[in-house]
Amino acid sequence: MKANTKRQTRQLQVIWEAIKDEKSHPSADQVYEKVRRVMPSVSLGTVYRNLQKLVADEKLQVVTVGRTQRFDPTVEKHEHFICEACGRVYDFFVDSKRKIFSSSLPSEAFTVTSHQLALYGKCKSCQG
Ligand SMILES: [Zn+2]
Ligand SMILES: [Zn+2]
């Protein structure tokens, strides 16, 4: 039991190491590929479970791109530009004082708790 807990802690550490400085918003598969180089015995399920744990601990945030979850170690509020050609996800920051108004929602009946804005297009390296 104790050895098992130790192994789980080590797995979580390796997975965190693999993603903490990532700017590319990797999917669980991409994190798995990276972790496997360090820890060949790891399974995709383990990687996935640990990523969800890091999300629950607010160390990672999830960015949904199409139908794939991508993981982002930058947890401060920011927005994403998603390249439709290469699938790369870029961060950008919006001034928090700038409010987004929606004229189609009656303001008295809806409470906005957060928002996620994603811009889609072609990135610099796909231009051209
Ligand atoms: Zn691109
Ligand atoms: Zn991001």
- CATH number (domain holding residue 40): 1.10.10
What is the 78 CA–ligand 2 centroid distance (Å)? Answer: 6
The pLDDT score that the predictor gives to residue 91 is 92
**Is residue 123, in this structure, part of any structural domain at all?**
no
Instruction: Report the predicted TM-score, pTM, of the whole model to 2 decimal places.
Output: 0.80
pLDDT (tens digit per residue) in 15-50: 999 999 999 999 999 999 999 999 999 999 999 999
* C-alpha distances out from residue 48 to 14, 41, 58, 83, 127, Å: 13, 14, 15, 24, 33
* Mean pLDDT, rounded, of the chain: 88
pLDDT at 12 over 60: yes
Would 37 be classed as within a structural domain?
yes
Within a domain: 48: yes
pLDDT category at 117 given cuts 50, 70, 90 is: confident
Q: Which domain holds residue 54?
A: 2-60
Q: Provide the pLDDT for residue 116.
A: 74
- Which band of pLDDT confidence, cut at 50, 70 and 90, is reported for residue 112? confident
Query: Could you tell me if residue 46 is inside a domain?
Result: yes
Q: How far is the CA of 44 from the centre of ligand 2 (A)?
A: 22
Query: What confidence score (pLDDT) does residue 99 get?
Result: 63
Answer whether residue 114 is part of any domain.
no
Ligand with minimal distance to 82 CA = 1
Q: Report CA(75)–ligand 2 centroid distance (Å).
A: 8
Is 119 a domain residue? no
In a domain, 44, yes or no: yes
Residue 80 lies in a domain: no
The domain total for the chain is: 1
Report the interhelical angle of 28-38 vs 2-19 (nearest 10°).
Answer: 120
Residue-wise pLDDT for 56-101, tens only, equals: 999 999 998 888 899 999 998 888 999 999 988 999 887 766 666 6
